[in-house]
Every structure is written in C-alpha cells, then in structure tokens.
Amino acid sequence: MAEKTEPKPEEKKDEKPTPKDNLVESKHSIKIGGKVIKYTVTTGTMVLKEEVNDKEKDAEVEKPRAQIFFIAYTKDGVRDKSKRPITFSFNGGPGSSSVWLHMGVLGPRRVVLTDEGEMPPPPFKLTDNQYSILDETDLVFIDPMSTGYSRPVEGEKSKEWHTFTKDIQSVGDFIRLYATRYHRWLSPKFLAGESYGTTRSAGLSGYLQDRHGMLLNGLVLISAVLDFTTIDFNLNNDLPYIMFLPAYTATAWYHGKLNFKSSLEAALKEAKEFAMGEYATALLKGASLTREERASVVEKLSRYTGISQDFIERTDLRILDQHYFKELLRERGKTVGRLDSRYTGTDRSGVTSTPEYDPLFAQVNGPYTAAFNDYIRTELKFETDTPYEILSEKVWMQWSYSYFQNQYVNVAETLRGAMTFNKYLKVFVANGYFDLGTPYFATEYTFDHLGLDQSLRKNIRMAYYKAGHMMYVHLPSLKEMKKDITKFIKDAS
C-alpha cells in the first residue's frame, strides 16, 4: 500500500532581481587656462522607470525599463550650484554613443590625433584637454538606448526605444531624473548635441518644457540638421541640390579643383549667390528652361563644383552627394569624405558611382574606440564586460520616424515654439565648411525659415570652421570652438 504524502507547498517562481543603479565615483584634476580645476566623475548606469498599469493591483506603478549609461563631470568646491551651469551632451546617428563630443571637444580628456585630425600610428593615446569647457560648466554625457552601455532591463526589448518619440522621451526623462537627484533644477542648463544630436536637442527643448516644466538657457548645436527636407535627396525634392552647392565649392577649393583663383570666403559668397539665384530658378523651371539658360547653369555649376560639364549634363543639373564624393577626384583615383571632404579615400574600383567608406570615420573610429575602452576602466574605474557600442548600425537600421509619417523630419518648429515660449533660450550653431553630411548652407536656410519673431533672432549665434562635421578633430578649429562656446555659455547663463 502506497504511503500518503503531504502536498508540497507551492514553490515560488524565481523572481527577477530588481535592477539597481551601478555608479562609481572618482576624483581628478586638470589645468585649463592656467587654472587647476579639481573635479569628480560619476560613471555608470541609472535605472529609468516608467509608470505602467498593473492589472493585478489595478493601479499605476513605476516599473524599471532601462539602464542608461552616463558620465558626469562636476567641479569640486562649488557651494552654490544655482550659479554653476550644467550641460547635457550626446551625439547623433541615430545609434551613436556620446564618445565623440565627450573625448573630442567638451570633456577634460581628449583623444590624440594629428593637428589636422588624422589618425596617428597605433597604439593610441589620451591627453588632458586644455580646450575642455569644464572650467565653465559641469558636463553630463548621455548614451541613448542601445549605445554605449545603455540597455533595457531584463525582459524589455531595445527596439521600442529606437524611434524619434521614444528617444526624446527617454533622454528627457533621464535629464529630469539627474537634475532631481543631483539638485540641479536651479542651475543654468544647456544641451549640446552633434548631427542627429541636434535634432534630438531641438526636440528636447520642447519636451523638457512641456512635459517637465524645465526651461533651458541654451542649445549648442554642432553640425546641425533640424529640417531633413534640406538634406534628403529625392526625385520630388530639389532643395538639397541647392543647399549642398556651397559645400561642394568649399571642397573643390580645398582640393584645387576650381578653375579660378579665389579665397575660400570669396568663392563661397559667389556660390551662394548663384545657388539662391540662377540655379534655384533653373531647378524650378525644369523642362521649361531654355537651351541658353541651361548652358549658362551647366557652365556655372562646373565652375563652382569642379565637376565636368559633361557629367553635369548627364545629372540633369542635379549632383547627388554620393556621386560628388566619387566624381570630384576620380581621375586621381580618390574619393572625398562625406563627414569631412578634406579627407580622401581609395576604393577598389574607380568606376563605381558611390564610395566604399567615409575617410573621416576611418581616421577616428580606431583611436576613439581604443582610448575610451581604456579610459573607462583605467581612470574612471568602471568595470563591465559588456561591449561599449560606439556606433550601432542596428539602431540606425531599426530607427522609426513614424511620428513624421508622410512628411520630412522637421524639429525646427519645435525649436521655434520653445524659443518663443522661453524668450531667454539662446542657440549656438557650429558649422564646418567641409561638412557634406549636414552642410552649413542648409543650416542657414533652416534658421532663416524658422518663422521666429524678429525680436528673438538675436538669440541665434552662428560660427564657422575650416573643417568638417567633426570640426574639433582639426586642432585650430578646436581652439576656436573653445572660445566660441565659452563666450556663449557665459552670455546665456
């Protein structure tokens, strides 16, 4: 006869551990402008929670959703934080970590390149950045979801964050959380973004204001793109062909491809006048352009781009950026860069229509990756075996702009609204003449069409550098940026 057995108590399922912040503090010092600055670095991940509906409790509860990685630099010995500015910084992509602005221009440690921004022989090095703006503002470098060490908590899917709206929300909510925990609500607050990071900055200027009531003092926009109409080459959009022309002229000037002698500034002035006048009119006329008018436009396009008249005829007066990268120096067997057209590359084939790679990225990717991975462990004492995602192609490939369905991405109106609501909001825009990713003329066009009240136009400040998208890799430009951004922060604080 079988023995009776007592029923076992119901075993509890393994509960997932509650995600916790993982932060490390370290102390450092640097000399900037002849003064020694002692500072604290807070490195690690902060858990970001969201309110969700708990059906069992029939209530709204806070649920951990993401672990956002950041590196914060704060000056020691500051008694009154309300007088110390703080700048939240990120790069673009979408899918880029914050490493480029962090270790290229703003932070206290800088990746060593040549003075012209080329890669030195490995192994690579870091150096103190005497052009850091840490003397003027505390700095918080944020890695958006799936970049750097930022990841969703267990059970969540990262793809949810790979959208325009969710990106703005998560970065904005992190800024609110940081400002709350570290008592920075009364500090002068700035955002610094590069490339798509400028798109994010403009979006955040509205989100932080509308959702959290947080007003900003200023935006630092480096290689800005707010209205994608100006850079998105399509059959039904002639605007980019006009907007890119002066940058083509700068590129041709740099590589000695212009058939006339001129200073860069004088050549750009001519090119802009042609682009906004005769060239824009020709593209508007389309097939109604007379033979004589067309011949004049072809001749001038060749003059200002360094491209042959025959090639221009075959493009129907419309030089695609990818074709320009390949065509300008084709007879030399070289391509020119998208991010910085001063740089040249070499493809396997000289007859293809588009280049194989971007020459600037080839110069900076190795040094920045090696330097950061050593710095985070050796100097900041943050240990993890998770790979640091410098630039995630997966994020870029998954990115959703569904918010802008059936229209071009455009956050210029959000910025206009923020500047109108907050009349003290200032904007600094850094432009590289040799940037063929977000050309400076397109940025000028965007701000000229912002619809901003005339009384607020004085709140926008433009600066120009003889380099490209990452103009700070060019040492003379980095020195100028230090002066320009320092003055901007002082004025806007």
Q: Which of 369, 479, 486 is closest to 115 using CA atoms?
A: 479
- CATH number of the structural domain spanning residue 38: 3.40.50.1820
- Phi then psi for residue 236, to 5 deg, are -100, 20
pLDDT of res. 480 = 98
Q: How large is the C-alpha radius of gyration of the chain?
A: 25
Within this chain, do residues 221 and 149 fall inside the same structural domain, yes or no?
Answer: yes
pLDDT of res. 6 = 54
The predicted-structure confidence for 448-485, as pLDDT tens digits, reads as follows 999 999 999 999 999 999 999 999 999 999 999 999 99
Within this chain, do residues 165 and 46 fall inside the same structural domain, yes or no?
Answer: yes
Within this chain, do residues 264 and 195 fall inside the same structural domain, yes or no?
Answer: no
Residue ending a domain, choose from 307, 331, 357: 357
Supply the DSSP symbol for 19: P
Residue ending a domain, choose from 299, 327, 357: 357
Within this chain, do residues 284 and 262 fall inside the same structural domain, yes or no?
Answer: yes
pLDDT of res. 2 = 46
Domain count, the chain: 2
Within this chain, do residues 172 and 216 fall inside the same structural domain, yes or no?
Answer: yes
pLDDT of res. 9 = 52
Q: Which run of H or E residues covers position 31?
A: strand 22-32
The residue range of the domain holding 298 is 233-357
Within this chain, do residues 93 and 242 fall inside the same structural domain, yes or no?
Answer: no
pLDDT of res. 121 = 96
* b (16+ CB within 10 A) / e for 39-62: bebbbbbbbbeeeeeeeeeeeeee
Structure tokens at 69: 């990685």
Within this chain, do residues 350 and 420 fall inside the same structural domain, yes or no?
Answer: no
**Domain for residue 6, yes or no?**
no
Instruction: Give the amino acid at 10.
Output: E
**Domain for residue 221, yes or no?**
yes
3-state secondary structure (DSSP) of residue 360: helix
Evaluate the omega torsion of the peptide bond into residue 94 and state whether it is cis, within 30 degrees of 0: yes
**Domain for residue 256, yes or no?**
yes
Within this chain, do residues 240 and 225 fall inside the same structural domain, yes or no?
Answer: no
3-state secondary structure (DSSP) of residue 107: coil
The predicted-structure confidence for 408-452, as pLDDT tens digits, reads as follows 999 999 999 999 999 999 999 999 999 999 999 999 999 999 999
pLDDT of res. 360 = 96
Per residue of the chain (493 residues), give pLDDT as tens: 445 555 555 544 556 788 999 999 999 999 999 999 999 999 999 999 988 766 666 667 788 899 999 999 999 999 999 999 999 999 999 999 999 999 999 999 999 999 999 999 999 999 999 999 999 999 999 999 999 999 999 988 999 999 999 999 999 999 999 999 999 999 999 999 999 999 999 999 999 999 999 999 999 999 999 999 999 999 999 999 999 999 999 999 999 999 999 999 999 999 999 999 999 999 999 999 999 999 999 999 999 999 999 999 999 999 999 999 999 999 999 999 999 999 999 999 999 999 999 999 999 999 999 999 999 999 999 999 999 999 999 998 999 999 999 999 999 999 999 999 999 999 999 999 999 999 999 999 999 999 999 999 999 999 999 999 999 999 999 999 999 999 999 999 9
Within this chain, do residues 323 and 218 fall inside the same structural domain, yes or no?
Answer: no
- Helices 291-305 and 264-274, packing angle to 10 deg: 150
Within this chain, do residues 170 and 224 fall inside the same structural domain, yes or no?
Answer: yes
Residue ending a domain, choose from 357, 388, 419: 357
* 479, 419 Cβ separation under 8 angstroms: no
* 331, 338 Cβ separation under 8 angstroms: no
Within this chain, do residues 376 and 334 fall inside the same structural domain, yes or no?
Answer: no
Within this chain, do residues 282 and 190 fall inside the same structural domain, yes or no?
Answer: no
